[in-house]
Chains A and B, each alone.
Chain A
Amino acid sequence: DGGITQSPKYLFRKEGQNVTLSCEQNLNHDAMYWYRQDPGQGLRLIYYSQIVNDFQKGDIAEGYSVSREKKESFPLTVTSAQKNPTAFYLCASSGVRWVQPQHFGDGTRLSIL
């Protein structure tokens, strides 16, 4: 079945540590997105990519980095510069940026040790 796989489901970060969240899709979608969701709030866009080797900052990119070396993969690194990383992170993909519905993974919950 086609879909988006995020891993791990739960992740713990120590002070000063970078951690990487994985996102893989087999839907042959060009566009991929990373969102952050805090309790009781909507989704805020961190980064998006419309094509391989290209990505753009979203509303809250500070403290995060991404890469898009393959169409199927869009990993997100939460760096030590992100002082409040505890949140639920969601990855999504779509055929054409914004125009078509987005397909979401089941998220990674990141907490601070």
Chain B
Amino acid sequence: SQQGEEDPQALSIQEGENATMNCSYKTSINNLQWYRQNSGRGLVHLILIRSNEREKHSGRLRVTLDTSKKSSSLLITASRAADTASYFCATDDNNNDMRFGAGTRLTVKP
């Protein structure tokens, strides 16, 4: 069963614009992770945010976590064509079961 639900399912923007993807989940979590997947490839880990953290940054990536709303967002600033990929959130709940959402498919047009 899926825990995280990404929104939107697909997003198309121009190079240089910011991209925001959201993830909502149902049960309490220990941490939330964001992954990226290029077409036909494996997933690559981007950021892990723990349940007691509210925001984390990594280069052009900014992740926020609101445990009261059971939601997280991934912001990619100044997007590039190379950012075109699918982005997944994964939640680790109190049963130590990790669940992936269905992903947001991001297209960055040059």
Tell me the A residues contacting B by CB distance below 8 Å.
4, 6, 35, 40-45, 59, 88, 90, 92, 97-107, 109
Question: Which residues of chain A have C-beta atoms less than 8 A from B1's C-beta?
Answer: 59
Flag if B102 contacts A104 (CB, 8 Å). no
Which A-chain residue is minimally distant from B105 (CB atoms)? A40
Q: Can you give 12 A-B contacts (C-beta < 8 A)?
A: A4-B42, A42-B2, A42-B103, A43-B43, A43-B100, A59-B1, A97-B96, A100-B48, A104-B43, A105-B42, A106-B41, A107-B42
Question: Which residues of chain B have C-beta atoms less than 8 A from A101's C-beta?
Answer: 33, 45, 48
Question: Which residues of chain A have C-beta atoms less than 8 A from B42's C-beta?
Answer: 4, 6, 90, 92, 104-107
Those of B1-59 within 8 Å (CB) of chain A: 1-2, 4, 30-31, 33, 40-45, 48
B98 in contact (CB, < 8 A): yes
Question: What sequence of 0s and 1s flags, for each residue 42-84 of chain B, a beta carbon within 8 Å of any chain A beta carbon?
Answer: 1111001000000000000000000000000000000000000
Flag if B45 contacts A102 (CB, 8 Å). yes
Total contacts A-B at CB 8 Å: 51
Question: Which residues of chain A have C-beta atoms less than 8 A from B41's C-beta?
Answer: 106-107
Those of B88-102 within 8 Å (CB) of chain A: 88, 92, 96-98, 100-102
Interface centre among A44, A90, A97, A99 (most CB of B within 10 A): A99
Which A-chain residue is minimally distant from B42 (CB atoms)? A104
Flag if B44 contacts A104 (CB, 8 Å). yes
Given contacts A99-B31, A107-B40, contact A42 B45 (CB under 8 A): no
Apart from A88-B40, A106-B42, A107-B40, list 18 A-B contacts with CB within 8 A: A41-B103, A42-B88, A42-B100, A42-B101, A42-B102, A43-B88, A44-B100, A45-B98, A90-B43, A92-B42, A92-B43, A97-B96, A98-B30, A98-B98, A99-B30, A100-B48, A104-B44, A105-B42
Distance, CA A104 to CA B45, complexed state (A):
9
